Amino acid sequence: MHSVHDFVIAVRTAPAPRDRLQLIDFLGLAVYLLITMGIVIWSSRRQASTSEFFLGGRRMPWVAVGLSVLATLMSSISYMGVPGEMIKNGVAMFAQYLALPLSMSVVLFVWVPFFMRLRFTSAYEYLERRFDVQTRIIGSVLFLFLRLGWMSMVTYVGSLALTQMVGTLIPIETQDPVAQWFSSSEASHPLRESFLYWIIIAVGLSATVYGSVGGFRAAIWNDVLQSLMLFGGTILTLGYVIWTTGTGPAEWWRLAAENSAGHTKLILFSMDPTVRMTVVTAAMLNFFWVICTHGSDQVVLQRYFSTTSLKSAKRSYLVAALTDVTIGVLLALCGLALLAFYLQHPSYLPEGIFVVENGHTVVKHGDKVMPHFFAHQLPAGIGGVILAVLVCDAMQTLVSGVNSISAVFAADLYGRIRQGATKRLTEVGFARVLSVVVGLVVTSLAIGVAYLAQNSGRNIFDLMAPAFNMFLGPLSSLFLIGMFLRCDGRAAKIAVTFSILISFFWSYWQILFGTSYQPTITLTTAVPYLSSFLIAAVVSRFIRTAPDFPGLEYTRAVVMRRELPPEVES
């Protein structure tokens, strides 16, 4: 067997890293921002109704919708986190794609045909029809908590990556005390922290303007552009490593395995709660995340509602699923490629990211490798394009979330509060005001997230599940109960209350009880989701539902007997 040292000698030496981004990089960023603004201005036409503002008039092409679903769910956290996970912990999480056939079957043959027969503007209108107004409000509030937290995290992560990359603009050798803060590596540097907050404000306000002017149509077409950029970033990364080192995936795998056997070793299943991830838990994580987001999340369902027909909605999901797998594999390869690249060229990384222990290189900060590679290793100009990807991904995620949250507010609450001052607003005007308010709230929350992350010692992945993913299981369980159980709102509200408590304790167990044990984070969604359904099934045995309860007309068995709405002409 060859040693790592022997293998490194066999490959070419890549060019030394650049010390900073250059003017051409920022020109690339400016051009991309101008293009997205042009899309917003073009999309702002034909917005005479909330259907046009929130759903693009239900005439959006299915390919564009599929790519939009991909770009919306593939946030900057995933784009930076997947390679970081591969670099730091190995291949175990990519076993999640083993669940794809099952999750695709549920979405294609259960969720999409059901929701396309209803085609509401807000998915939570279903909860009122099926149960009552209170259940609809509970669902809407859970969605708001879920997406406000999610958007705040994404805005923070995208702004943090931008701050780190822009920090290379001025070389560290500069004698200018005002300029030196750009290059400071200290996380607690007050000027660097201040710059991060200003970046968050800039990103948040820009996204608010985009969302309030362009509406849903702008979000869709900018998502399409963003998805192409996401693919481009992975291809550029892989191409650079292959070209400069003369190696390929087989060599990358071999080098990773020789450095640490754990990187290429898969554990099928373990009852040990300290085992971070196994094949089974990774597959379960992906399965429940997919069926819960596609079966309850307004951000996703709103895109399917915008298509012309059931056939188009199914095609859009196939596009989203297949492109998600493709970019997931490409991001995994990027992580493997960058691990091999910096094992070959350890001096190209700042101190502290890779550390040698007992003759092996240990990755301490895998999520910092890719942004460093973008800023320092790619040729001038290309780094600016990738910078545009990071900036606009955060902005587009915020745009999509702001529009979806505004749709929920407008559809769920507008009719109940339109007296008084709101009478002076048109429906589209009210929608735009809501978009601005939501955008400002998310920007403020992102500043709070940044402050907590910078002062708590926790990384972004430690904060994600307890911050917002804990709401996904309880929210999606309401739809599962409504579709498959013959019960009324009383059973559903009892079940979702217990589900929220279970999710809270599951997510915060270690913090609440100060123990070393922490329930596996991969089941944060699955356990509350299934528990809520089982609790509702038991409660419905004791709280009888009247046979003539009108909500029973919205169970899946009854809805699927309805005729499909006529196809909308494009």
Higher pLDDT, 487 or 509: 487
Determine if residue 215 is left, alpha or beta; phi over 0 gives left, psi from -120 to 50 gives alpha, anything else beta: left
Spatial separation of the C-alpha atoms in residues 349 and 340, rounded to whole Å = 13
Q: Please name every residue paired with 326 in a beta bridge, in sequence order, or none if there are none.
A: none
In the DSSP assignment, the letter for residue 524 is: T
What are the sequence ranges of the domains in the chain? Answer: 4-559
SS3 for 445-491 is HHHHHHHHHHHHCCCHHHHHHHHCHHHHHHHHHHHHHHHHCCCCHHH
Q: Bridge-partner residues for 360, per DSSP? A: 357
Number of H helices, E strands in the chain: 23, 2
CA-CA distance, 64 to 60, in Å (whole number)? 7
- CB-based burial, 87-96: b 16+ in 10 Å, e otherwise: bbbbbbbbbb
Read off the pLDDT band of 269 (50, 70, 90): confident
Distance CA(365)–CA(352), nearest Å, equals 8
Q: pLDDT band for 2, please (50, 70, 90 cuts).
A: very low
Tell me, what's the pLDDT at 187? 42
pLDDT of residue 535: 98
Whether the predicted pLDDT of 285 surpasses 80: yes
| Helix, coil or strand: residue 83 | helix
Q: What is the pLDDT of residues 62-111, one digit of tens each?
A: 888 888 888 777 777 778 778 888 888 777 777 788 898 999 999 999 99
Pairing of strands 354-357, 360-363: antiparallel
Per DSSP (E only), the strands in 300-458 are: 354-357, 360-363
Q: Are 293 and 469 in contact (CB under 8 A)?
A: no
Topology classification of domain 4-559? Sodium/glucose cotransporter (1.20.1730)
> pLDDT for 516-569, tens place per residue?
777 777 788 999 999 999 999 999 999 999 999 999 999 999 999 998 877 755
